């Protein structure tokens, strides 16, 4: 169906887990260099992004806007470091450019932007105003279906973002038009910038909400690579309605003092914390893009 596209890079779960750990190391190094940015959410989503980009998506890094590609919309634009690290490791742009996170006139800004607006290849839209990504994803899914194209559309949303009314307007539209080429992935880490999600606004019963809006719902451990892979396969078999994967994750995954702590939503580690984080994540066979403590 997609003879010109590349997928997968890894079929072994151990290889995927190793890459996810490397992406977490990349996130820490990027934040140490920029001294600005979000830690918790990016670390928590590394497994999801690794599964998508290194195993499941139909894509071509050297031709990032190939008409046969699968579409990824990051509605929670502030977790951009995990996307940047993943795209770079997948070959969309040089690893060395990860050193430029949040630099003036750089392409790796605090929220992602597409190549045509001085952003990065592989990024479809500028995102950051929470709640808008799903509307765009629904429109894309409808356009692809009208064109009789088999591409799949993924939209990654945060759980705190679900307080935005536009999310549910888009969900109703997706159900009404039976967009079975659309999958929403909810990063259910129970944390947002100023508290636990349930202390800000109660979301449960979350799975029942998505079911009531007409979605086929899957609930998974977002850090269990095999479960993530199997579920992405399952959503592609859903017919007649959109699908939603509620991925239960831990903010700050892999770094003990960050895990499940909403206070790490929007701050980077300092030098001492960075050493601890990189020590806990441990070096991988892929190698860091920078030796921060010797090159800073």
Confidence of residue 2 (pLDDT cuts 50, 70, 90): low
Q: For helices 80-90 and 13-34, what crossing angle results, to 10°?
A: 120
Higher local confidence (pLDDT), 104 or 1: 104
pLDDT per residue over 130-182, tens digit each? 999 999 999 999 999 999 999 999 999 999 999 999 999 999 999 999 999 99
The predicted-structure confidence for 17-32, as pLDDT tens digits, reads as follows 999 999 999 999 999 9
Average pLDDT, the chain: 95
Contact criterion met (CB below 8 Å) for 293 and 275:
yes
Span 214-229, mean pLDDT? 98
Q: Measure the N-to-C terminal CA separation of the chain; round to a whole number of Å.
A: 47
Q: How many CB atoms lie within 10 A of CB 118?
A: 11
Count of other CB atoms within 10 angstroms of residue 289: 21
User: What does the pLDDT read at residue 253?
Assistant: 98
Distance, CA of 243 to CA of 251 (rounded, Å)? 24
Domain 13-295 listed as CATH 3.40.1000.10:
no
Residue 5: pLDDT band with limits 50, 70, 90: confident
153-158 vs 182-188, strand pairing mode: parallel
- What are 282's two structure tokens? 């441990």
Query: How is residue 185 written in tokens?
Result: 């992935």
- C-alpha 107/C-alpha 94 separation (Å) is 12
pTM exceeds cut of 0.75: yes
Tens-place pLDDT, residues 87-143 = 999 999 999 999 999 999 999 999 999 998 889 999 999 997 899 999 999 999 999
Place 296 in a pLDDT band, splitting at 50, 70 and 90: low
What is the average per-residue pLDDT within 41-61?
A: 97
Two tokens at 57? 């998506």
Q: For tokens 């499941």, what's the residue?
A: 56
**If we measure between CA atoms, which residue out of 232, 251, 274 comes closest to residue 57?**
232
What span, in angstroms and rounded, lies between the C-alpha atoms of 296 and 27?
Answer: 16
């Amino acid at each position: 169906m997609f003879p010109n596209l590349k997928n997968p890079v890894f079929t072994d779960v151990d290889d995927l887990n190793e890459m996810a750990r490397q992406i977490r190391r990349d996130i820490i190094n990027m934040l140490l260099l920029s001294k600005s940015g979000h830690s918790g959410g990016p670390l928590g989503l590394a497994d999801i992004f690794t599964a998508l980009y290194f195993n499941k998506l139909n894509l071509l890094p050297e031709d990032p806007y190939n008409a046969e590609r699968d579409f990824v919309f990051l509605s929670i634009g502030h977790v951009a470091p995990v996307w940047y690290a993943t795209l770079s490791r997948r070959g969309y742009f040089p690893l060395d450019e990860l050193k430029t996170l949040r630099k003036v006139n750089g392409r790796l800004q605090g929220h992602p932007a597409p190549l045509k607006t001085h952003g990065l290849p592989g990024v479809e839209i500028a995102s950051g105003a929470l709640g808008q990504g799903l509307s765009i994803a629904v429109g894309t899914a409808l356009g692809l279906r009208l064109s009789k194209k088999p591409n799949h559309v993924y939209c990654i949303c945060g759980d705190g973002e679900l307080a935005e009314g536009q999310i549910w307007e888009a969900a109703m539209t997706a159900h009404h038009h039976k967009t079975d080429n659309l999958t929403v992935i909810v990063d259910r880490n129970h944390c947002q910038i100023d508290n636990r999600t349930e202390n800000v606004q109660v979301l449960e019963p979350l799975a029942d909400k998505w079911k009531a809006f007409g979605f086929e719902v899957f609930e998974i451990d977002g850090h269990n690579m095999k479960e993530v892979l199997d579920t992405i396969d399952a959503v592609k078999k859903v017919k007649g309605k959109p699908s939603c994967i509620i991925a239960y994750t831990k903010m700050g995954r892999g770094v003990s003092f960050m895990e499940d702590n909403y206070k790490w939503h929007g701050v980077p580690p300092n030098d001492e914390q960075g050493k601890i984080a990189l020590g806990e994540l441990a070096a991988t066979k892929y190698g860091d893009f920078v030796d921060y403590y010797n090159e800073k």
